[in-house]
Chain A
């Protein structure tokens, strides 16, 4: 590696937290962790491992976040027992950021909303979609439960510095095209291991004008390309989002002009159609026109990928005054209590209920086939979620297609996968 090259945002953050002037891809570093996250699936394993250390304290009770969001509100006795492990641990160790049902939300929508994420941080989470926080200029990556246990004890984690791939998007996105379509397009192009072990830097004029909710959607699905993290560099949209949420000082980090990228991909988004990932893989991506006529049994709008207010607004704007197709179930899952409340204040929930959709309390629920909307054998769903693997939402012989919220809402009205314009015209 030529030492004259500059560093990318991620290299700079890793170097700073490893107390080094420079790091290069492939180098192993031990870094300080600013925030460590677990949920009701992964934290029980981490807590079991943590107990083996015999400690009576965690490294910092303000830097550990526990969110019971996957199988909550408790779907059965076993899930209730797991949630109890989190509740007890949070109390015993005095954790500041434990979010009980009623205060909670889907973790990756909740943490940015609650002002727990800002530029330059290193965040690890025992959940693969932890990469979401890269949209705010942080280095954030998914790890396993044992990594979380170690971080809770010593506040550190080991990483191999990833090479960075830059993705540039240019042009004006057509109506009904969103961040979800940009990331599906990208995963479709490079494949589910196209960014394996890599950092994904998102940039270009289409990103400069992309609202924060769309950015969070894109960074969220970096893992679906195998990425270690996905990020946007902080700009005015970032600062506006952070205003009123984060009151502490932070330092934004930017890639050097002469940073070294493993490769650069460029996309023209001017004539982009909404994208659909066909089963059984998020890289099996085609324009919505190729999916026309696929009959659906269920539509899910929600998740850490697309359960934010902009997503609900887009879905409501399509479905307002219409009815869900007879025989189809439409599930709307606002990602946090705050989003739920805002959707209520804006009248969006009334739009959904009048259309005969179900509105659920925040939960990961059906996205991972947990509860709240499981598919029977042979059923097909269209979801705004992130994965469509075999059996992901229920029976191994059910199928999941992925789309943006507007396409999902339109398809719930039509009963088949359609472009929003088809139900609005």
Chain B
């Protein structure tokens, strides 16, 4: 899968309360959640983020609560991929389970221009290209079991296949 979009840089330990505040958790609709994405740490973000954009962050992205509303809000905003140096574990499995592409990448993106620069991503190869400079970055590939989950379209499809075989 090839993804391409404008990047938005975020810092370290972006928690799920920052991604979507608890006061908006009385809905499960991705589009409604997206209207408040990152609101408490970047109030203008819901108005700026566009379909296909890419979130780039530091360590431990998605720490805190287990709310699946966090990856759902990101998916609902049309964000095509989240790249982080590392992910908190519940956010990581939630993203895989709902089919939100995420990549773990140790490289330094801090020199890139947030809201301007563009990245092109090859998910299968874990290859990331900065379009303005042509510079290539390498991300960690997924374990095979998770690749299978993603290629099936997430955990729901995986379970459906399991149930069909019973």
Contact = CB atoms under 8 A, between A and B. Distances in A.
B68 A42 contact: yes
A150 B143 contact: no
Interface stretch (A94-102, A169-177, A233-241, A388-396): A388-396
Interface string B56-88: 000110011111110110000000000000101
B67 A41 contact: yes
Interface stretch (B21-29, B107-115, B119-127, B133-141): B21-29
Contacts of A78: 26-27
A146 interface: yes
B156 A192 contact: no
Contacts of A223: 64, 90
A226 B159 contact: no
Interface stretch (A48-56, A294-302, A340-348): A48-56
A193 B63 contact: yes
23 contacts: A28-B143, A42-B67, A53-B156, A55-B163, A71-B26, A126-B66, A127-B65, A128-B64, A143-B66, A144-B67, A144-B94, A145-B68, A153-B163, A154-B159, A192-B60, A192-B63, A193-B63, A223-B90, A226-B63, A281-B13, A387-B17, A389-B64, A390-B18
A89 interface: no
Contacts of A126: 66, 68
Contact of A228 (B64, B89, B156): B89
B131 interface: no
Given A41-B25, A78-B27, A142 B66 contact: yes
A70 B159 CA distance: 28
A113 to B, nearest CB: 21
Interface residues of B, number: 42
Interface string A358-388: 0000000000111000000000000000010
Contacts of A18: none
A44 interface: yes
B59 A193 contact: yes
A392 B65 CA distance: 11
Contacts of B27: 78
A76 B40 CA distance: 22
Given A127-B66, A154-B162, A226-B63, A193 B93 contact: no
Contact of B90 (A55, A143, A153): A143
A150 B68 contact: no
A197 interface: yes
A396 B17 CA distance: 10
Contacts of A158: 145
A146 B98 contact: yes
Contacts of A146: 68, 94, 97-98, 154-156
A228 B91 CA distance: 12
B2 interface: no
Given A192-B13, A192-B60, 14 more contacts: A41-B67, A42-B66, A45-B28, A53-B156, A127-B65, A146-B97, A147-B155, A150-B155, A160-B143, A193-B86, A389-B64, A390-B41, A391-B18, A391-B21
Contacts of B31: none
B15 interface: yes
Nearest to A227: B89
A240 B150 CA distance: 45
Nearest to A82: B26
A197 B89 contact: yes
B15 A144 contact: no
Interface string A127-168: 110100000000000111111011001100010100000000
B22 A368 contact: yes
A196 interface: yes
B151 to A, nearest CB: 15
A79 interface: yes
Given A45-B69, A193-B13, A196-B86, A53 B160 contact: yes
Contact of B22 (A53, A81, A370): A370
A196 B12 CA distance: 14
